[in-house]
Amino acid sequence: MVGGGDRRMIWIYQTFHFVFLLASVYSECVTQVYENTYFQGGDLATVFTPSANYCQVVCTYHPTCLLFTYLPATWTEDPEKRFSCYLKDSDTEMLPKVDMEGAVSGHSLKQCNIQISACSPDVHIGLDMEGKIYDVTTADSYQRCQKRCTNDNHCHFFTYASETFHNASFRKKCFLKHTSIGTPTSIKVLDEVVSGFSLKPCQLSEIDCKMDIFEDQEFSGMNITSFFTPDISVCQTICTYFPKCLFFTFFTREWQIESQRNLCLLKTSTSGIPEALTSRENAVSGFSLLNCRRSFPACNSRTYTQMNFLGEELNVTYTKGHRACQQVCTDVIRCQFFTYFPLQDSCNEERKCECHLRMSSNGSPVEIVHGPGTISGYSLRLCKKKASTVCMQHSARTIRIVGGTDSSPGEWPWQVSLHMKLSRQRHLCGGSIISNRWILTAAHCVMSRKNPNIWRVYAGILKQSEINEDTPFFKVEEIIVHPQYKYAQTGYDIALMKLDKPMNFTDLQLPICLPSKEDANILYTDCWVVGWGYRKEKGRVEDILQKATVPLMSKEECQARYRRRRIGDKVICAGYDAGGRDACKGDSGGPLSCRHEEVWYLVGITSWGEGCARPRQPGVYTNVAEYSDWILEKTSELAKKVSVLAEKTLAKSSVTILQDPRKENWRRSLEINNYTIKSPYIIHEQSLASSNRGSTVTLHKSGETASDLFHTSQAQLKCQDQRSYHLIPLDSACLDCCTRDVTWCHMD
């Protein structure tokens, strides 16, 4: 391990309307994407995006979009419609599917329990994202062009013409662009150009962050639009996320013009600053916070007394208290805000009072009326802590010891030391705890040492010198290497170790979360590499666990450093051009840990590099997000077995029933090796005992007899013969025969 330091994790939503975020929600998370499919009808708007994923992000942040259809670059019927992103809505949350070659359709991710970041660091080679060109400069690379866009108040996206562009007068030119909605007006295929978005939403702008609030002052500028908001905080948040808003003025509830009370005016100017400041009593002004290098949450959990948020009435229900009303709004598909009426004449006999669920076309109230007896607020959907769906358990510890290279006890509780015990015992590689039975490491650490019996796993340790014969360790029951692994430089450098017994979590040993594929666009900026490896190329294993902060590097930059290797999506590169901080021998298999929204994710596995911390030779790490499905598949195989021989379902067979199954004990859920399984099948206790020898099985207390479940059409009946236990679909014909002793049960 070479070097140390700290870097804060930062991100911010893309510059779509903030009102897009105060949006209606989808009742269930549906991540499925439909190839060669077009959703018919329900059109809300059409925008242009460089990819289907970005189209889905736009739909997610639109106030009423539930579905989308995208026409990619390969669309042939009408070239002018390539890259079109059709945003759609439906009262039934679904639209007719029409076969259409090349089209891609999917759902909004509003209700998904995954982090959806609109920060888009990717660049698009060979695409010209069109918009209003307001500035043209010369730049040595597209990276410098993107940086200029990021550091320009007005820039939404850019196009860079390379030095081999066909028109010599445009070569190495950087075109800064903007539009009224922040997305391109069209996208064209064009050789030798690169396009991309501003990284201001990633909190990478170097422009001054203006957080001052100016009371009794009105900012002059070009008015963009206006919204009704309950206070200046919501007004400023809307300005922050509205594409063209640079500053704002808010009129308080004491403003002399009644129709303008609680009005939030979004403004801009050519210079980027207000044209003038005018003294206005009960006016408050401020700036967009988009340029700030810290996150400002879009969630607004506050409630406002004596305010009635007016909008389209979705439903009126009754709840006990305004917080319950707010929760109902959060749970209802289209509810964006609510008003609760606690007055006696608005309550029923159960002392539940009227809860009005409302929405609008832009996500904000169409009017705010002041008066006693009302409490209003917004949906709490944005306040939900969104974690990766692949995260098996969260680490609650967030304190970091910054500075230096030595780690502190419990600072990296997911780090393990992998020892190999042959003629002598020694630290060989690192690994990461991802659940109470699984360690994730590099394939090259174990490929030639696949005998589980030679490994010892030490968790919760800081110093190698503390390990002795009395130090507790875990044995390894099974080693799973990715089947496509050949050697580290060709990728697939990932392996799983299954522990011989479950691990008890403490402050010193905890799992790290796994990123999912949906997290691929997150721009991690607080990343650390940890291990006991060498501090220099010709060194030795360190005694104290070492740490170093390293910046992630784009795929294009990394490929330029390793021209003889192929740097694809399966790896991530990290390091400094000047060198000095990197992983080294002995760190292999250990974590590249990145913090996002106060949750630590295993973004990479230390894999390979040229030397250690050499200038312009970054470390190369296995991109864990690319293997999330494989990890889940392998670590869930036990859970699949617990589904009680589902793949052996009896289809045209005969079985003998030894006794009345109605009197037997059956289960629908159980725990096995600390996995909770809720099966669609009726599970028999004896089957679990016989088919999972060596596993820890705990049946849930809520047992049911077969007769309790016979009325359900989805029920499965377990029948026994002399060979094995089987699950068979239960129907009325089988029910008659299976309830008698020693009879045959024939399935159609």
Length of the chain: 748
Tell me whether residue 394 is one of the annotated catalytic residues.
no
267/529: higher pLDDT: 267
CATH code of 214-287, in short, is 3.50.4.10
Contact 456, 417 (CB under 8 A): no
End-to-end CA distance of the chain: 64
pLDDT-based confidence at residue 730 (cuts at 50, 70, 90) = very low
CATH topology of domain 18-107: Hepatocyte Growth Factor (3.50.4)
Residues 6+ away with beta carbon under 8 Å from 654: 721, 744, 745, 746
Question: At residue 301, does pLDDT exceed 90?
Answer: no
> Three-class SS string for 297-337?
CCCCCCEEEEEEEECEEEEEEEECCHHHHHHHHHHCCCCCE
447/305: higher pLDDT: 305
The Cα–Cα gap between 440 and 438 comes to 7
Q: At 56, is the secondary structure helix, strand, or coil?
A: helix
Contact 96, 34 (CB under 8 A): no
In the chain, what are the domain boundaries? 18-107, 123-202, 214-287, 303-383, 415-632, 637-738
For the residues 76-82, what does the mean pLDDT come to? Answer: 90
Tell me whether residue 748 is one of the annotated catalytic residues.
no
For the residues 652-679, what does the mean pLDDT come to? Answer: 37
Query: Which of 110-119, 172-181, 425-434 has the largest mean confidence?
Result: 172-181
Average pLDDT value over all residues in the chain? 77
Which one from 205, 435, 588, 593 is the annotated catalytic residue? 588
Query: Which of 46-50, 63-67, 376-380, 685-689 has the largest mean confidence?
Result: 46-50
Which one from 444, 482, 596, 684 is the annotated catalytic residue? 444
The Cα–Cα gap between 563 and 714 comes to 57
- The token duo for 203 is 């909190």
18-107 with 123-202: one CATH topology? Answer: yes
Q: Of 211, 43, 14, which is closest to residue 120 (Cα–Cα)?
A: 14
| pTM for the whole structure | 0.53
Which one from 89, 128, 152, 493 is the annotated catalytic residue? 493
342/6: higher pLDDT: 342
CATH topology of domain 303-383: Hepatocyte Growth Factor (3.50.4)
Question: At residue 614, does pLDDT exceed 80?
Answer: no
Residues 6+ away with beta carbon under 8 Å from 48: 83, 84, 85, 129, 183, 184, 185, 186, 187
Residues 6+ away with beta carbon under 8 Å from 139: 145, 148, 160, 172, 173, 174
Alpha helices in 29-161 (DSSP H): 52-61, 142-150
The whole-number pLDDT of residue 508 equals 84
For the residues 254-263, what does the mean pLDDT come to? Answer: 96
CATH topology of domain 123-202: Hepatocyte Growth Factor (3.50.4)
Q: So what CATH class is 415-632? A: mainly beta
Least confident of 94-108, 159-173, 237-251, 563-577: 563-577
Tell me whether residue 493 is one of the annotated catalytic residues.
yes
Question: At residue 356, does pLDDT exceed 50?
Answer: yes
The whole-number pLDDT of residue 295 equals 64
Question: At residue 516, does pLDDT exceed 60?
Answer: yes
Question: What pLDDT, in 10s, does the model give residues 518-553?
Answer: 677 677 878 888 888 755 444 567 788 888 888 888
Q: Which class for 711: exposed (0-12), middle (13-18), buried (19 or more C-beta within 10 A)?
A: exposed
The Cα–Cα gap between 369 and 309 comes to 7
